[in-house]
Structure 1
């Protein structure tokens, strides 16, 4: 304990006077709290300063009629499509750009050229193949591009993009139509080429499972903020696509089951009578999935392999893309989900290799995702939502491809179970971001992956009370934010230029949003603003500026400092309790004060020799000779004098009753100094643990750092005495070093084992399988 001054007035003056830092420099007050405006695109008639679409907002539209046939003998696709393109922009367009994403796997693709490679002491075939690339005949073959009169239209193919040179410039408000004939060979996505679409071959029964995505030439986006988005597709940065209506005819072997974007138009032609009955039952079943094609039925079809064909017809309205899947191996189940005033069909397609896991969980997870996301954004507007088991994870409108297979004996680890549920929630959730809130994935992966991972985290926590979410909670981002600086980029970095893609584009923005919701804004303000963003930009093309501005506009909270630190910077959070001083108001009487001074003087004068001298020096000179004594040998400087009593009385008489009450309140003042070691400013969340066993948490907004971004001092008045203090007690801020968050400092031992034990790690792709062990007993 430290005492200040006897004079209460002087003490009070000190407490209300702001301290002046002796190390004040320009670096103490840099840019962390400067407004973000100069770093953002200027508002205009298309996008307002509030983050909403402007009164002259526009976007293009592209309708498609497509006929496609799958050749199950040689794994190839041939197709024809008619595109109707609407120019809703104020600009005259001389040409259109189309994406040819299959060309990312073509022989002349830049993807392998720009990928680093090296030789290791041990190399497997897959690693060597990735160096040699491949000699397979992959990529689009564009057979023709014609107008509706059959005349050829000149095109120029630039890697994964194709420029269509229009015969006449397309004026604002006009539309144009053209056709494209094309074909390509479907690749083995289980090989080193990988990727989102392709086929998986099942050697045991000789069948294929096709996931057909990026399978037709797709219109690129032309926007008010970027013009044409024709950045080459090299595998990571995903897609920027134009909304439109689709009519698609898909011809496949007659025994195949097809799942697709859109609504099946000819169910009575492609489904058996039994399947039709089950399908109609599923439309009115809300409590559990109805199996429409059973495992036994799928296993019979695996062996028969029909030679004839069927054509499935699907329609989809206002979608930015179209994907489908086909296989005779599929089991199919479905259930209805009430959503707003409509019923949504939640469905799953999966091979027997995925059972029993998928039959129990997949469609239920689809239904839960629709409900969870809709509650926080808008009612899911599409008629179907489909999950397909395809050993990967990728999203498209109304349909997504996911992983999660048990062992051959049907048992599985909880890592596989939760991993499967998580990927289904994530990929189905992508219907909201970016399939409907249609951001530019090629440029800003975080706008779909980060926002969606945040929503996934909330949905996971609603699924199971102790759900082992990998991302979302603040402390889980610490290992990434504690990485060496050369391995970090801001979230606001182009998709292709990120070293640690998963942590940067998925985990960090999801964590940032969770911190905004739980710690900075509070759930009520955050949820209102986030929902407003979703409602404003559903079926439109938002930019990062639109998100940042809407979150502030709808909440009334200035978040520029937060966007700067979390999205435009790479600094981590590392705030320490640097020093704590304890003060009490000096309300002692003269007698109490002199007694305390005497104790302090004795303590200051004491030295170890005094104890030894009591035995070694029987008598001192002064003790032996009275003539060696004077006034000071009998003087007591710690006795109370009349002058002391009068000064105390005069002091008390000058105080008002309010001042006397404060003087005798017994308050404890704790002057705390906090140091920002990491650079990222955050609120101070301080838990005071008192000597009586109680606790109290104080929350200081991040703006306390606005005048000194590196060190701040704050005084806290407490009625109770503090035993210890903890900074960020609930691990809310992603602090990378919690060892300096305690006062007094706490030390915990690092444990080590005599023998290293073996065991699975929760969340790994191959976790421990207690189910298998239990079955063996």
Structure 2
């Protein structure tokens, strides 16, 4: 769902991370903490969820099938329904009760979640606010009324409603592998969505006296029971969205006969509910390359004024979906066309009133088709037969159907912002078919897992829609900078519970989407990232992934250790601020020649003292010597005792003699030849010092502008900070002299302070000499040593 960008501070999470806690292993150190593995910060892998991020061999999930009949009473704005639910216990656990979500209770003044916020009293108060305050003092009559609850044999069942949740007690335990069927009858007053808020309800059009119904969260439905949290029965406050169980749906909706209905899945009885002309257009739309108006604008305008008093029943079926939503109105124009994903036809459709005709008729259905094809490219092939966009002055998603906004002026004109806002919301909400409708994360706990991932692929899809699509965040690193440079007490980690986030827009949408785009464009590269991201989608399609499953899969499928990135970007609030502190310029001094060693030149040296004089004070050595249970190997096997075993114990005396040795003995340096000097003479060497002022480790991207006007970019991976997280010194060799240097020229790392990213005046070069390093053999003894001199003395006698 789209929300406006807010800022603020709060933090809570499923993992053992508390507000203000530094999750680094040793936060006081300057070395390596940000690159330590997440370790126990992530849940322990098990038989259900593996260390690779894939579902385990014993992964399981529940299933719930629904057979629902409902009737819309437009005159009284009331919905009445009856549903038969069949629940399958695929878990290894015995269940004594079931939990259902009662989300429509959000609108009840007595059965809402009662999550209250601060509220100030201003100098003005509108009448609607007064009405809301008055309404909250009693029962406003909204929310579910349960009229019947029986098992398959018709026996009444006990249940308890706790705000927006309902516990259904089972007469007998539901064992692993068993299923249980029961029936619920209910009704509720439909709320005015434009006044009361929320996702479901109606919009009233006073000009023509009609309603547009968006029926969402409209039926009692099963909570998720999983291996991670057991029953996910957190209250619905209106923000954290939904954790839902997959199942098969059959839904019959009885509505006024002149209403047009769109819903999750495929309609089973178009022949009965459409006119012959409309059915013919529907048939034509199946093979059309352009959207066909199944219900025309003329028919929609005519229906607005006539208002039928008879009824029709529309029947829809949808398999393997996590939810069902529908819409109904006599105002609807309906157009449709197919698109194809790997040879499979997907009917793309739009429903909209005359108020949106000038935009939706031209753009909506084609935007739906583009979204389905694009998301299928980056994730998995779209598996459902239908995808629909409904104009309802809204922005909300459900399987195969979503509610969007975008209306014209009365003359049919519209602004550029309205057009691209409409296209953006259609792409975003249709894209939610993938996250979380198919890759079915727990939105009630982790909003970012659906909103953030979806916003990222939305960004990719918008980029593929139009090369000049005005991107307003959700991808480019520069777009998150204003949020990232806020004071720390106004920031919160992405890994925060949905209900506790103040800066919901940047936290759940923009920052995770930006992070994924950084991984793709700057840190991993597109090939590695795209493969791993598709693997995540493939592994967790039609399953319930958790954050650790995403983190682990992206690493497992790419071969990249990204724990440093998850720590900094998802678990932390540090910002990127990499400063270019110093620039030193060097050139080779080709006129310098080291003086050759004189023939027969010597130097004097003394022998090294026994090493025990340096190391024998170690407390562990002393304690080992004092422990009578320890037997040292050189005591057990005396053949291991050599000259230095004796030397360390004073059994071989220290030789204090001063010896004369050749001056080049052991030297690793010799003068460079003329060819080597000339090669170095054509190069320019620059030593750059970088400091990490923001705390967040990121790759260092250096753009060099040469004096001839050309440019070159060096990319240094983030791991360069692993040994010192605050300072890095790097030396570069260039073929041309540099005029100026700039960090992050394309603004890829969300650097919050670009004023310290440039260096424009480079001092005159310092000189350095060039030499050759003699090749040596590691571990080769050389020079003089006590053993050698002791042997020489023995031979002399």
TM bucket (normalised to shorter chain) is 0.7 to 0.9
Matches within 5 A, 1:517-596: 517-588=520-591
- Tell me which of 332, 335, 347 is aligned to 1:333: 335
Residue equivalent to 1:514? 517
In 2, Cα distance between equivalents of 1:439 and 1:533: 12
What is the TM-score when the length of structure 1 is the normalising length? 0.83
- Alpha-carbon contact 1:197-1:212 (below 8 Å) kept: yes
* Offset at residue 375 of structure 1 (A): 0.9
Q: Is 1:494 the counterpart of 2:497 in the alignment?
A: yes
* Offset at residue 408 of structure 1 (A): 1.5
In 2, Cα distance between equivalents of 1:658 and 1:64: 86
- Alpha-carbon contact 2:494-2:571 (below 8 Å) kept: yes
What is the TM-score when the length of structure 2 is the normalising length? 0.81
Matches within 5 A, 1:149-228: 149-191=153-195, 193-228=196-231
Residue equivalent to 1:621? none
* Offset at residue 555 of structure 1 (A): 0.4
In 2, Cα distance between equivalents of 1:157 and 1:127: 28
Residue equivalent to 2:369? 367
Residue equivalent to 1:671? 687
Output one character per residue of 1:518-568: Cα deviation in whole Å (capped at 9) or x when no partner: 000101110000000001100000000000000000000110000111100
Residue equivalent to 2:753? 737
- Alpha-carbon contact 2:398-2:437 (below 8 Å) kept: yes
Residue equivalent to 2:469? 467
In 2, Cα distance between equivalents of 1:110 and 1:84: 27
- Alpha-carbon contact 2:555-2:562 (below 8 Å) kept: yes
Tell me, what secondary structure is at the counterpart of 2:681? coil
Residue equivalent to 1:691? 707
Q: Is 1:411 the counterpart of 2:413 in the alignment?
A: yes
- Alpha-carbon contact 2:263-2:401 (below 8 Å) kept: yes
Change in Cα spacing, 1:533 to 1:300, as seen in structure 2 (3 Å) is same
Residue equivalent to 2:455? 453
Residue equivalent to 1:142? 146
Residue equivalent to 1:774? none
Output one character per residue of 1:24-61: Cα deviation in whole Å (capped at 9) or x when no partner: 99431262111012110011111111111111110000
In 2, Cα distance between equivalents of 1:129 and 1:690: 68
In 2, Cα distance between equivalents of 1:238 and 1:25: 35
Output one character per residue of 1:656-677: Cα deviation in whole Å (capped at 9) or x when no partner: 4387336743322211111111
Matches within 5 A, 1:421-432: 421-432=423-434
Output one character per residue of 1:593-619: Cα deviation in whole Å (capped at 9) or x when no partner: xxxxxxxxxxxxxxxxxxxxxxxxxxx
Tell me, what secondary structure is at the counterpart of 1:27? coil
- Alpha-carbon contact 1:117-1:131 (below 8 Å) kept: no
- Alpha-carbon contact 2:739-2:761 (below 8 Å) kept: no
- Tell me which of 222, 241, 246 is aligned to 2:244: 241
In 2, Cα distance between equivalents of 1:32 and 1:80: 55
In 2, Cα distance between equivalents of 1:699 and 1:64: 54
Output one character per residue of 1:130-169: Cα deviation in whole Å (capped at 9) or x when no partner: 5445563211111121101111110011100000000000
In 2, Cα distance between equivalents of 1:387 and 1:220: 27
Q: Is 1:705 the counterpart of 2:742 in the alignment?
A: no
Change in Cα spacing, 1:276 to 1:710, as seen in structure 2 (3 Å) is same
- Alpha-carbon contact 2:589-2:681 (below 8 Å) kept: no
Residue equivalent to 2:268? 265
- Alpha-carbon contact 2:113-2:164 (below 8 Å) kept: no
- Alpha-carbon contact 2:113-2:235 (below 8 Å) kept: no
- Tell me which of 302, 320, 331 is aligned to 2:322: 320
Tell me, what secondary structure is at the counterpart of 1:95? strand
| Residues 338-347 or 663-672, more deviating | 663-672
- Alpha-carbon contact 1:724-1:743 (below 8 Å) kept: yes
* Offset at residue 283 of structure 1 (A): 0.8
Output one character per residue of 1:651-704: Cα deviation in whole Å (capped at 9) or x when no partner: xx9524387336743322211111111111000000011111111100000001
- Alpha-carbon contact 2:53-2:551 (below 8 Å) kept: yes
Tell me, what secondary structure is at the counterpart of 2:533? helix
Change in Cα spacing, 1:402 to 1:566, as seen in structure 2 (3 Å) is same
In 1, Cα distance between equivalents of 2:119 and 2:340: 51
- Tell me which of 52, 55, 62 is aligned to 2:54: 52
* Offset at residue 113 of structure 1 (A): 5.1
Tell me, what secondary structure is at the counterpart of 2:346? strand
Tell me, what secondary structure is at the counterpart of 1:32? helix
Change in Cα spacing, 1:278 to 1:720, as seen in structure 2 (3 Å) is same
* Offset at residue 228 of structure 1 (A): 0.4
- Tell me which of 220, 229, 233 is aligned to 1:230: 233
CA RMSD of aligned residues (A): 1.8
- Tell me which of 108, 113, 116 is aligned to 1:114: 116
- Alpha-carbon contact 1:670-1:716 (below 8 Å) kept: yes
- Alpha-carbon contact 2:356-2:407 (below 8 Å) kept: yes
In 2, Cα distance between equivalents of 1:715 and 1:683: 16
Change in Cα spacing, 1:112 to 1:157, as seen in structure 2 (3 Å) is closer
Paired positions, count? 660
- Alpha-carbon contact 1:445-1:494 (below 8 Å) kept: yes
| Residues 434-443 or 712-721, more deviating | 712-721
Gaps of 5+ in 2: 1-25, 594-668, 763-797
In 2, Cα distance between equivalents of 1:696 and 1:125: 63
Residue equivalent to 1:721? 737
- Alpha-carbon contact 1:587-1:663 (below 8 Å) kept: no
Tell me, what secondary structure is at the counterpart of 2:29? helix
In 1, Cα distance between equivalents of 2:133 and 2:490: 24
- Alpha-carbon contact 2:707-2:739 (below 8 Å) kept: yes
Matches within 5 A, 1:600-639: none
Change in Cα spacing, 1:745 to 1:204, as seen in structure 2 (3 Å) is farther
- Alpha-carbon contact 2:447-2:497 (below 8 Å) kept: yes
- Alpha-carbon contact 2:62-2:225 (below 8 Å) kept: yes
Residue equivalent to 1:255? 258
Output one character per residue of 1:421-454: Cα deviation in whole Å (capped at 9) or x when no partner: 0000000000000000000000000000000000
Change in Cα spacing, 1:132 to 1:713, as seen in structure 2 (3 Å) is farther
- Tell me which of 361, 376, 379 is aligned to 1:377: 379
In 2, Cα distance between equivalents of 1:447 and 1:261: 23
* Offset at residue 739 of structure 1 (A): 1.0
In 1, Cα distance between equivalents of 2:547 and 2:537: 13
Residue equivalent to 1:764? none
In 2, Cα distance between equivalents of 1:661 and 1:131: 85
Tell me, what secondary structure is at the counterpart of 1:401? strand
Tell me, what secondary structure is at the counterpart of 2:35? coil
In 2, Cα distance between equivalents of 1:541 and 1:372: 23
| Residues 687-696 or 105-114, more deviating | 105-114
Tell me, what secondary structure is at the counterpart of 2:564? helix
